[in-house]
Chains A and B, each alone.
Chain A
Amino acid sequence: MLTHFSAVLLFSLFVSIVFGITQRSEPRMMVRFGAYCFVLFVGITIVASWAMWAIKH
């Protein structure tokens, strides 16, 4: 069974691959944009998670 965090990682990975391929024209830029999206997805999720923890406590 997936944990919440592994679900986030897989979601971010697959969405970033599709975003990279469809939103850029050159293969090099596709990889860069995909990696950028992945980092943003995961990073924002972690920040939002800690923010919710801080609000609760």
Chain B
Amino acid sequence: MATEAQQIAQRVPGEKSSKPTLALIAGWLIPGAGHLVVGKYYRAALLFISILGMYLIGLGLQGKIYTPNTGDVLDILGFIGQLGLGVFYLIARIFGLGASSVTITLGDYGTKFLVVGGLLNIIAAVDAHSLANGRKQS
């Protein structure tokens, strides 16, 4: 009886499956959800805790929440990074969390926590995609 990991690894190249796409999108929207889709529960929990931690610390330090429409290139890059947070970013925008500009020294650190949290979530989502399509073995 082959395990789940072996079945994924033995998938025929080019075979169409919606699981990789689902893992990618779920992982982006909710940190760790992509790994849940592929059955990696401990990894999913650790990723969720880590990225949620980055997000909460970023907000706690009054980090800036970027918006896409300022016209500043650095703001656009920051927005792309924070967009990686998925629903966390949407929650921050909807409820007005975080700061609209950096007003204290630690606020700059908070902004970095938020941007890096988003980028880490993108890495995690791509990892879940690689696990689902068999590119990563286990």
Footprint of B on A, CB under 8 Å?
A: 1-2, 4, 7, 10-11, 13-15, 17-18, 21-22, 25-26
Contact = CB atoms under 8 A, between A and B. Distances in A.
A18 B50 contact: yes
Secondary structure at chain B's binding surface: helix, strand, loop or mixed?
helix
B38 interface: no
Chain B interface size band reads 20 to 34
A2 B57 contact: yes
A14 B112 CA distance: 13
Nearest to A22: B127
A21 B57 contact: no
A1 B110 CA distance: 12
A25 B109 contact: no
